[in-house]
Structure 1
Amino acid sequence: MFDRYHTPDYELVNDGVLLNRQRLLDHIRPARRRAAGLSVEVEQALVDGDQVAARYRLTAQMHKGGAITTEIYMFGELAADGRLRRATQATRTLRSE
């Protein structure tokens, strides 16, 4: 599934921390075990040529109760085939409502 949307050389800089494809997958696997569900609400998205920007909220419903909502500001570069090649993001955790 990951390769459908990301190039093999994909890199993510998240809050100043560089994650290559393998480091990101290594992070995602245990996070998926802790979350019972996940939703994404896109607030804004723009594409101009190979450049993309988005502001969205990711909410993880945890197995042990409660939810974690993160607001994400993402700027990225698309490959010629439309997959994401590189992304830089800044995040902030939102208070539960």
Structure 2
Amino acid sequence: MKPLNITADPKQFIADFYTGFTHDLLSSDEDAAVIVDRYHTPDIVQVADGNRIDRQKLIDHTRPVRKNRPAIRMEVHEAVVGGDRLAARYTLHSSQRGKDIAIEVHLFGRFSADGRMSQAHMLTRAIT
């Protein structure tokens, strides 16, 4: 992971973060825990639409992603960084088994100095 660099483009940072994470999951048989730990701190907590996801739940969530192997594309509309925090609004486009979906995401995250996510709150809505 690249360090969180406030002089870099935050839109590119969050796009690289998620596409890198997804690529690493789908392009190898490497242990999912190792990949999760590469992109997230051990104390990671994500709250997505009110659902709390800790490290183990995040690792568990990788199983269906690996099984279904979706094609994913991010369209980052806006992103800002302040210190170790990043806020972004993006659309996640996913395609699997002939079905296309798009999800609008509002992300408020905190990142460690080495660029790993340590906390995130996400609000989502399906738009297709």
- State the TM bucket, normalised to the shorter chain: 0.7 to 0.9
- The aligned residue for residue 91 of structure 1 is 124
Contact 1:36/1:62, CA 8 A, preserved across alignment: yes
Question: After the TM superposition, which parts of structure 1 deviate over 3 Å for at least 4 consecutive aligned residues?
Answer: none
Distance 1:80 1:36 in 2: 30
Quote how far apart the aligned CAs of 1:30 are. 0.7
Equivalent pairs counted in the alignment come to 94
Q: Structure 2 unaligned runs (5+)?
A: 1-34
Structural RMSD (CA): 1.4
- The aligned residue for residue 32 of structure 1 is 66
Give the strand-richer structure, 1 or 2. Answer: 1
The answer to whether the aligner puts 1:73 opposite 2:106 as a matched pair is yes
TM-score under structure 1 normalisation?
0.86
Give identity over the alignment, percent.
44
Give the helix-richer structure, 1 or 2. Answer: 2
Distance 2:66 2:91 in 1: 17
Distance 1:32 1:59 in 2: 17
